[in-house]
Amino acid sequence: MANTSSPAPVPLSGPSPWRGRLFGLGTSLLSLMLTLLGLLTMTFIIARVVPIDPILSIVGERATPAQIETARQHFGLDRPWYVQYGIYLWDALQGDLGVSIRTREPVLQEVARYFPATLELATLGTLFGVLAGVPAGVLAATRPGSFADQIVRIVGLVGYSMPVFWLGLLGLLVFYGQLDWVAGPGRLDASYQMLLEFQMTQYTGIILIDAALNGAWDMFRNAISHIILPSALLGYVSMAYISRMTRSFMMNELGQEYITTARVKGMPEWRVIWVHAMRNVMVPLITVIALSYAYLLEGAVLTETIFAWPGLGRYITDALFANDMPAVLGGTVVVGLAFVTLNMISDILYRLVDPRARA
């Protein structure tokens, strides 16, 4: 008897997960390239519209018209704007951000010397902000309207409202001038600074790491005493933002049905909050922390000025006062690149934390 049963259906292969991941990676890289192109374009436009003639800054105001014209031809400023734009993009892609008018050194070399100080300060400030802001936000969200909630909100409001320079001066007056709990402005005392420059191997430019790698623990403690106050100040500003956003995210999650179900099942409250709710809170919180970190990298100018911190913000400020536009624009490009990189890292972490984003 013939077999009349229909053949087994052949399973259809779904879309390859690697194809989706490669597409997502390509999209992220394309977005990164377009963002960098926009950043370089804006810096090029700013350099051409500011009322500062870079040639006069180089040759001096007493230069003759012939000398000024020779300098313009040497730097290519006599060419059409689109040719200058192409040269600028090509040089920037090769890592050439120009030469500082003040020091006659490559801008990228100077930025590489100043950026580790800002990175060190902003990293510690962000750590303080996360370690204090996330628990404070969770505490306020789990006890809305309580005394603890009011304290967290008031502390955050003060962090938003008080000018950074005023908090910095007040901190120096109290903790350095009156109580003598911390060291004064700068990254190191003068004796340790000379030791750092002439006798110690600098691996990263970050003093805390280099001192530990060299076994210079006296220098390490001195660096801690200098950085603790400005990093705590930036951490307080970061904590005000992170705690507020954590409170908002957590209160939204605690009102969801899955939280009610977990509580009905008798799950411990700490597990409901720190495992189930925090797992979903971390998705938007990653972006908040990344933005806070980027803000500290680009917005620590006043803090670096008050504490005489030789970082990138102070470098750009000094260059701006000296009409050193190559240094200003080069520092701006580096800050923008750091911002874009942090945004890309947060997007990658977002995909790792949230399975829906991976899908």
Q: Over the stretch 187-232, which tens digit does the pLDDT of each residue have? A: 888 888 888 887 788 888 889 998 899 888 999 999 999 999 999 9
SS3 string of 20-65?
HHHHHHHHHHHHHHHHHHHHHHHHHHHHHHCCCCHHHHHHCCCCCH
Q: Is the pLDDT of residue 273 over 60?
A: yes
Q: What is the pLDDT of residue 232?
A: 92
Distance CA 113, CA 122 (A): 16
Q: What is the predicted pLDDT for the residue at 341?
A: 83
Distance CA 292, CA 271 (A): 27
**DSSP sequence for 232-250:** HHHHHHHHHHHHHHHHHHH
> What pTM does this model have?
0.80
pLDDT tens, position by position, 32-88: 788 888 888 888 887 777 666 667 766 766 777 787 778 777 767 777 878 878 888
Please tell me whether residue 181 adopts helix, strand or coil conformation.
Answer: coil
Closest CA to 99 of 87, 111, 89, 90: 111
Please determine, for residue 292, whether its predicted confidence score (pLDDT) is greater than 90.
Answer: no
How high does pLDDT run on average in the chain? 82
| Domain boundary assignment for the chain | 24-93, 108-358
CA–CA separation, 81 and 128 (whole Å): 46
Q: How does residue 262 score in pLDDT terms, banded at 50, 70 and 90?
A: confident
Q: Is the pLDDT of residue 100 over 50?
A: yes
Q: What is the pLDDT of residues 141-177, one digit of tens each?
A: 998 888 988 998 898 888 878 888 888 889 899 999 8
> Counting Cβ atoms within 10 Å, is residue 111 exposed (0-12), middle (13-18) or buried (19+)?
buried
Please say whether the structural domain 108-358 has been given the CATH code 1.10.3720.10: yes
Amino acid at 73: Q
